[in-house]
Chain A
């Protein structure tokens, strides 16, 4: 799943060249719009990210196979809403709302590098927090870079234990705690090497990273954001 979430596809496409800050604000505005929209409008609001996903030709099969967790969450949400209200349509709309939010977030990551997102965050915070905005950007960048490492380590340790005959279900508590300890120890070792690699290349979390430049494409993004903000009261 980490591979899917953090896989940015480099394309000579409009979305890839837009400023990360604009795309981030666009996503937040869309989420606010979708979250507050009345149920009947949800199927309509799902269409833009869906159309964009088709236009970008996202690898559907890999997204579906690796995003099983999100699908399970969507189903659980639908079941919970149905249990509470007894309304099938409302349950379906809630699942659809969640799916659209996940899809929109994945689309942002599909066309935006994690370090561009981090630098966009420092650019946003810079007028208030000055040099601490670079620290905030660095924390986001390091966290996003570390997540695949954590997932990879966890998978490696789990497979190594399974390969040596461990049956998780036989002693679930003991196995889980032992697995967590192994993952933690391996992870600490890898993070130590990673920290060395960062030091070796003079990484300074307070250093100013290059900011992306705004272009005419960002005007289009700004117009879409304005349109969504204007439409906001009518969707409630």
Chain B
């Protein structure tokens, strides 16, 4: 089976500044991968490039074996991106209208849009909030709404930029549970975060980015030493303990 995403020697420079260089990795279908790195390592820019919001300087991006490096629209529709700040992503006047925004832009029929909205709101536990204004939701609910908005477009891969940033413990757990459920359902996920102690036990693979270079990639279980070496806080010695879902 072709990889959900394959990246070959991807580089990005903006105004002469190298943001990242020669990044190569692949994500298996249904995998849950975490991309770690310090602030400014180039994680967010890498996600923006993969999504199609930035143009790479060189390299190739393949989705399901197809080269989509120059096909921005293919990347926009087949890869979902949940922004670091959910407030920037929410554009609808109500919860259901926000979730319907992407499917309507894809040109789906009214019936298909309705079904997608109901299904994703149920998956994210937001059914009872569908008529509410997004501004009235809590931080965790907003983050789940942002995920629902992306999920409704049925992308092959969902990328989340720091999904636990600025969330309290219950909100973190609600978002984490949603991600674990999506992974269980076979959804491919790529998450950037430096708070790996919250969810590492649920992931399959770790990528570590340092100053724009990919310095490590391997199974999550074997990544603890590499994470510590890269300065990522990993509190416990046991891999299975690295989750907030208990």
Residue numbers of A with Cβ under 8 A of B are 7-8, 10, 113-115, 145, 190, 193-194, 196-204, 207, 209-210
Contacts and interface: CB of A to CB of B under 8 A. Distances in A.
Interface in B214-239: none
Interface residues of B, number: 30
B97 interface: yes
A55 B33 CA distance: 55
Contact of B53 (A113, A200, A210): A200
B64 interface: no
B76 A197 contact: no
Nearest to B113: A210
5 contacts: A190-B88, A194-B88, A198-B91, A203-B101, A207-B104
A8 B73 CA distance: 34
A142 B85 CA distance: 20
Contacts, number: 61
Given A194-B88, A210-B110, A204 B105 contact: yes
A200 B80 CA distance: 7
Contacts of A207: 104-105, 107
Contacts of B81: 200
A197 B88 contact: yes
A194 B104 CA distance: 18
A210 B93 contact: no
Contacts of B89: 197, 200
A196, A198, A201: which has the most chain B beta carbons within 10 Å? A201
A4 B94 CA distance: 16
Given A10-B131, A113-B93, A196-B53, A202 B85 contact: no
